[in-house]
A and B are shown apart, each in its own frame.
Chain A
Amino acid sequence: MAEKITGAEAMMRALEKEGVNTLFGYPGGAIMPTYDALYDHKKTLNHILVRHEQGAVHAAQGYARVSGKVGCAIVTSGPGATNTVTGIADAMADSTPVVVICGQVGVSMLGTDAFQEVDVVGITSPASKWSYQIRRASDVAWAVSRAFYIARSGRPGPVVLDFTKNAQTELIDYKPAKINFIRSYDPTPALNKDSIKTAAKLINNSVKPFALLGQGVELGNANQEVKALLEKAQIPFASTLLGLSDIPSDHPLNMGMLGMHGNLGPNVMTNQCDLLIAIGMRFDDRVTGNLDTYAKQAKIIHFDIDPSEFNKNVKIDVAILGDCKESIPAVTELVDATKHDSWIAGFKPYAEKEYNKVIDKATHPENGPLLMGEVVQKISEATNNEAILVTDVGQNQMFACRYFKYSKPRSVVTSGGIGTMGFGLPAAIGATFGAPDRTVCVFCGDGGLQMTLQEFGTIMEQHAPVKIILLNNNFLGNVRQWQSMFFRRRYSFTPMLNPDYAMIAKAYNIATRTVIEREELNDAITEMLNTDGPFLLQCAIMEEDNVLPMTPPGANVDEMLLEI
């Protein structure tokens, strides 16, 4: 007869079976049996104690984004679980595979308003890919395998397992489970050959094709496949915020970044191309601007693995459902090797205009206070453009994503869909565990850093080599920028009275340096990158700088402001 084990022990074995070796978590009453089981698995399951449950999920997200594996967070019931909701919603919007395990009161107490009881499945269902309550120990193996299968397959996303206390303590005969099929869920839909042919024909007939790459390219591990297609047909492309590292920044066909604060050329040319090829992106409003005037002149081909994205925001001509690792090569095979030299050359005047009016000023100021753009560019160069960029949300994020350069895949970790301030620091911690051989640089503002500042404790304990660049302008900069543009400079609660961040870093034993003068910047960056372990580089940034160019919300995609 098989040995009897607890549901908590079954959870450990099921996690190991799924290949988990790193967990981000925080213990509490209703998850204690699981933490007790974890005590015997410390060698195989490296548990990182965070300082707040939100941090556990963001760290799991950072881990997942850079490693391509499923991130895992484990927390207790009630407030422990509700603290994870922001991370779950963030992972849902940004298609990040994470599994969140929450403790829950015993089945007999459910619905009685027991201590630390919250309807976790009810709360997380609308914001997760799947949310399930484990009520019996015998369900553990099945539920964990199903959770990881759902999280990582198809369009990835967050899964929540609500683990009742009785299911953690019950004794069962453990039988491992392997779920790789769910009849109501088809993550690998078969390719439609006709739409592949139609797409290839449209590409072959196009004189002015333009490709938009999203994170789907990276999630599908199709970077090489997409590159091969674009090179064969000489199609210029631009990326969404989350797709920036799909193909290296210096690729000759790379025209830059899409979106509200993206590059001028790609945004203008969206409304001039005759064919738009969208790959693994979802036409977010921050990318499209006014939908009524968006790419109306062009035919649109949309590659996606999620059928609900087709025609959701933008009416498309050809939908190609499936894994882009399969669908893109199928199209590549049918497209002609061709050139679009004059069309590609058409991007250049816009790039030059943007450089002269915006980029040069942002990255090479001669006097005045430090600017975010120059700090970002210097750090990117100092890492040979090989570092992983993690950002918080706001001006820091836009400047960082614009001026960082990418040479390797899986190099951007940022909160795109729901824009979570406080995401950066814990996500960067997770990234150091997901990619231990790479340099991880996180850019934060003085607002966002304080939202998850307690994770300095995690960095201290783990000696996690996070390079934190605090772009401090003593303002909630992005909101201030909008107030100056759209609310008559009425700076309603955006000036920040800040603490001495260097002193806080010291309290957590994190090496730190503050740069006020431009002349010190290079030396400080060298010191940061040469320091073994974490480092806080605080840069005193000009207070009222603006992210440019900008497509004002709701404006046409080709109506970018280069100055305000």
Chain B
Amino acid sequence: MENKLYTFIIYSENVPGILSQITAVYTRRQVNIESLNVCASSTPGAHKYTITAYCDEPMAKMLTAQIEKRIDVLQANYFTDDEIFINETSLLKISTPIMLQNKNVCKIVRIHNAHIVEVNPIYATIEKTGITNDILELYNELNSTGCVLQFVRSGRIAITKDFTEHLDEYLAEREKQRKDI
């Protein structure tokens, strides 16, 4: 089976130690995590993990099943790029003297729809949001002018294109079951 970049969206209770339990599921099966983002989700108390990794579909299934098996994990699902909206952000620190010398630098920033968030005589900070390729293109073009001092790119974040919020439905169902006990 073909290896593809899958995005895993995982929700867990906000308790310590879950991240290492989740990443251990990948490492044990020799799957390398490409990017990882963890933050509080829109559901109170639930943390959201957005993880990307290259693997085939049976492996993606196995990973989600094994992650969901951890006691404090609420839900785990995997997606291909067409099933989700994705975004990343990046910051570039560039040299102000080079920017003033080379008019192309400002042009590249404008063409790529990036924002200058700070300028001082020494450096300027540029912010660019988009998908991986957009960000890397901007970086490569700026880098060819020799102006880039620092570059950082965030992990992927993603939201599903589904009409239903599966986590909320799951939690509502579980709360009903709690009352029956």
A interface list, Cβ under 8 A from B: 121-122, 125-126, 129-131, 150, 180-186, 306-308, 310-312
Q: 6 tightest CB-CB pairs across the interface, nearest first?
A: A308-B65, A183-B174, A184-B74, A130-B71, A126-B24, A308-B69
The answer to whether B17 and A125 touch across the interface, beta carbons within 8 angstroms, is yes
Q: Which residue on A lies nearest to B69, using beta carbons? A: A308
Number of A-B contacts defined by CB within 8 Å: 48
CB-contact partner of A184 in B28, B72, B177, B181, under 8 A: B72
B interface list, Cβ under 8 A from A: 12-13, 17, 20-21, 24, 28, 58, 61-62, 65-66, 68-69, 71-74, 171, 174-175, 177-178, 181
The answer to whether B28 and A126 touch across the interface, beta carbons within 8 angstroms, is yes
The answer to whether A181 and B181 touch across the interface, beta carbons within 8 angstroms, is yes
CB-contact partner of B21 in A126, A181, A186, under 8 A: A126
* Cβ distance A161 to chain B, nearest Cβ, rounded Å: 13
The answer to whether A183 and B74 touch across the interface, beta carbons within 8 angstroms, is yes
Query: Hey, which chain B residues are within 8 Å of A125, CB to CB?
Result: 17, 20-21, 24
Query: Hey, which chain A residues are within 8 Å of B68, CB to CB?
Result: 307-308
Q: Which residue on A lies nearest to B15, using beta carbons? A: A132
Whether A307 contacts B65 in the complex (CB less than 8 A), given A150-B71, A181-B178, A184-B71, comes out as yes
* Cβ distance A100 to chain B, nearest Cβ, rounded Å: 16
CB-contact partner of A312 in B62, B174, B178, under 8 A: B62
Query: Hey, which chain A residues are within 8 Å of B171, CB to CB?
Result: 183
* Cβ distance A190 to chain B, nearest Cβ, rounded Å: 9
A125, B73: Cα distance in complex, Å: 14
**Contacts beyond the supplied A183-B74, A184-B13, A308-B65: 14 A-B pairs with Cβ under 8 Å:** A121-B17, A125-B20, A125-B21, A125-B24, A126-B21, A180-B181, A181-B178, A182-B71, A183-B13, A184-B72, A185-B72, A186-B177, A310-B65, A311-B58
Q: Which residue on A lies nearest to B65, using beta carbons? A: A308
Query: Hey, which chain B residues are within 8 Å of A308, CB to CB?
Result: 62, 65-66, 68-69
A180, B174: Cα distance in complex, Å: 13
The answer to whether B61 and A184 touch across the interface, beta carbons within 8 angstroms, is no
The answer to whether A186 and B71 touch across the interface, beta carbons within 8 angstroms, is no
A441, B66: Cα distance in complex, Å: 37
Query: Hey, which chain B residues are within 8 Å of A180, CB to CB?
Result: 181
Query: Hey, which chain A residues are within 8 Å of B61, CB to CB?
Result: 311
Provide a sorted-by-A list of 10 A–B residue pairs whose CB atoms are within 8 angstroms: A125-B21, A131-B17, A183-B13, A184-B12, A184-B13, A185-B71, A186-B174, A306-B69, A307-B69, A312-B62
* Cβ distance B38 to chain A, nearest Cβ, rounded Å: 16
A180, B58: Cα distance in complex, Å: 33
* Cβ distance A465 to chain B, nearest Cβ, rounded Å: 38
Count chain A CB atoms within 10 A of each CB in B58, B65, B68 and give the residue with the most. B65
Query: Hey, which chain B residues are within 8 Å of A126, CB to CB?
Result: 21, 24, 28
A181, B71: Cα distance in complex, Å: 12
A126, B24: Cα distance in complex, Å: 7
* Cβ distance B35 to chain A, nearest Cβ, rounded Å: 22
A428, B159: Cα distance in complex, Å: 53
Query: Hey, which chain A residues are within 8 Å of B21, CB to CB?
Result: 125-126
A131, B21: Cα distance in complex, Å: 10
The answer to whether B12 and A183 touch across the interface, beta carbons within 8 angstroms, is no
Query: Hey, which chain A residues are within 8 Å of B20, CB to CB?
Result: 122, 125
The answer to whether A183 and B178 touch across the interface, beta carbons within 8 angstroms, is yes
Q: Which residue on B lies nearest to A311, using beta carbons? A: B61
Query: Hey, which chain A residues are within 8 Å of B74, CB to CB?
Result: 183-184
A342, B68: Cα distance in complex, Å: 44
A307, B21: Cα distance in complex, Å: 18
* Cβ distance A318 to chain B, nearest Cβ, rounded Å: 17
* Cβ distance A315 to chain B, nearest Cβ, rounded Å: 9
The answer to whether A181 and B24 touch across the interface, beta carbons within 8 angstroms, is no
Query: Hey, which chain B residues are within 8 Å of A182, CB to CB?
Result: 71
A255, B21: Cα distance in complex, Å: 41
The answer to whether B73 and A184 touch across the interface, beta carbons within 8 angstroms, is yes
* Cβ distance A124 to chain B, nearest Cβ, rounded Å: 11
A46, B176: Cα distance in complex, Å: 40
Query: Hey, which chain A residues are within 8 Å of B72, CB to CB?
Result: 184-185
Query: Hey, which chain B residues are within 8 Å of A150, CB to CB?
Result: 71
Q: Which residue on B lies nearest to A180, using beta carbons? A: B181
* Cβ distance A123 to chain B, nearest Cβ, rounded Å: 11
Query: Hey, which chain A residues are within 8 Å of B175, CB to CB?
Result: 183
Query: Hey, which chain B residues are within 8 Å of A122, CB to CB?
Result: 20
Q: Which residue on A lies nearest to B62, using beta carbons? A: A312
The answer to whether A129 and B28 touch across the interface, beta carbons within 8 angstroms, is no
A182, B73: Cα distance in complex, Å: 11
The answer to whether B71 and A129 touch across the interface, beta carbons within 8 angstroms, is yes
Count chain B CB atoms within 10 A of each CB in A126, A180, A184, A186 and give the residue with the most. A184
